[in-house]
Homo-oligomer: A and B are copies of this chain.
Amino acid sequence: MMERAIEFAIHHQDDFLQQLIEIVRIPSISTDAQYRGEVQRAAEWNADRLRDLCAADVEICPVGEQQVVLGKIRGPETAQTLLIYGHYDVMPVDPIELWHSEPFEPLMRDGCLYARGTSDMKAQLVAFYSAVQCIQEVGEMPVNLLFLLDGAEEAGSEALDDFIRTNADRLACDFCLNLDGNILGPEQPSLTYAVRGIAYFELIVRGPDRDLHSGKFGGPVDNPALVLCEIIGGMRDINGRVTLPGFYDPVRPLADEERSALAKLPTDDEWWKRSAGVRALRREDDFTATELGTALPTLNINGLLSGHTGPGGKTLIPASAMAKISMRLVPDQTPAQVEAGLLEYLHARMPDTVEWQLHELPGIRPAVMDREAPQVAAAARALSRTWGVEPLFVREGASVPINSQVGEFLGVGSINMGFGLPDDDFHAPDERMNLTMFRQGIEAYIRYLYELER
> At the interface, yes or no: A25 with Cβ under 8 Å from chain B?
no
A118 and B217 CA atoms in complex are apart in Å by 25
What residues of B have a CB within 8 angstroms of the CB of A208 in the complex?
Answer: 276-278
Residues A302 and B214 in contact in the complex (CB < 8 Å), given A282-B221, A292-B220: yes
A216 and B399 CA atoms in complex are apart in Å by 9
Q: Which of A42-50, A52-60, A124-132, A225-233 contacts B (4 or more CB under 8 A)?
A: A225-233
CB contact between A316 and one of B212, B281, B302, B397 (< 8 Å): that residue: B302
Interface size class of A (residues with CB under 8 A): 35 or more
Q: Which of A134-142, A307-315, A410-418 contacts B (4 or more CB under 8 A)?
A: A307-315
A154 and B149 CA atoms in complex are apart in Å by 66
What residues of B have a CB within 8 angstroms of the CB of A133 in the complex?
Answer: none
Task: Mark contacts of A303-327 with chain B using CB atoms, 8 A cut-off: 1 yes-contact digit, 0 otherwise.
Answer: 1111111001111111001111010
A340 and B354 CA atoms in complex are apart in Å by 31
Instruction: Choose among A276, A281, A328 the residue with the greatest number of B CB atoms under 10 Å from its CB.
Output: A276
Are A298's CB and B233's CB within 8 A?
Answer: no
What residues of B have a CB within 8 angstroms of the CB of A277 in the complex?
Answer: 208-210
Residues A282 and B229 in contact in the complex (CB < 8 Å), given A214-B302, A302-B316, A315-B326: no
Are B233's CB and A301's CB within 8 A?
Answer: no
Are A221's CB and B272's CB within 8 A?
Answer: yes
Are B226's CB and A229's CB within 8 A?
Answer: no
CB contact between A398 and one of B216, B313, B318, B352 (< 8 Å): that residue: B216
> At the interface, yes or no: A331 with Cβ under 8 Å from chain B?
no
What residues of B have a CB within 8 angstroms of the CB of A228 in the complex?
Answer: 229, 304
**Given A219-B284, A231-B233, A302-B308, 12 further pairs, Cβ under 8 A:** A202-B313, A209-B278, A215-B328, A217-B275, A217-B276, A220-B292, A225-B301, A226-B300, A300-B317, A302-B317, A303-B314, A314-B324
> At the interface, yes or no: A198 with Cβ under 8 Å from chain B?
yes
What residues of B have a CB within 8 angstroms of the CB of A324 in the complex?
Answer: 307-309, 313-314
Could you list some 10 contacts between A and B, CB below 8 A? A226-B232, A228-B304, A229-B232, A230-B233, A232-B233, A301-B307, A302-B315, A303-B314, A305-B309, A315-B398
Tallying the copies of this chain within the complex gives 2
Task: Mark contacts of A9-31 with chain B using CB atoms, 8 A cut-off: 1 yes-contact digit, 0 otherwise.
Answer: 00000000000000000000000
Residues A292 and B219 in contact in the complex (CB < 8 Å), given A302-B315, A303-B308, A306-B301: yes
What residues of B have a CB within 8 angstroms of the CB of A225 in the complex?
Answer: 301-304, 323
Residues A282 and B220 in contact in the complex (CB < 8 Å), given A214-B300, A225-B304, A314-B303: yes
Are B229's CB and A233's CB within 8 A?
Answer: yes
A316 and B303 CA atoms in complex are apart in Å by 8
A276 and B397 CA atoms in complex are apart in Å by 46
What residues of B have a CB within 8 angstroms of the CB of A213 in the complex?
Answer: 398
A312 and B201 CA atoms in complex are apart in Å by 9
CB contact between A303 and one of B215, B272, B307, B326 (< 8 Å): that residue: B307
Are B219's CB and A398's CB within 8 A?
Answer: no
> At the interface, yes or no: A299 with Cβ under 8 Å from chain B?
yes
Are B232's CB and A293's CB within 8 A?
Answer: no
Task: Mark contacts of A330-367 with chain B using CB atoms, 8 A cut-off: 1 yes-contact digit, 0 otherwise.
Answer: 00000000000000000000011101000001100000
What residues of B have a CB within 8 angstroms of the CB of A209 in the complex?
Answer: 276-278
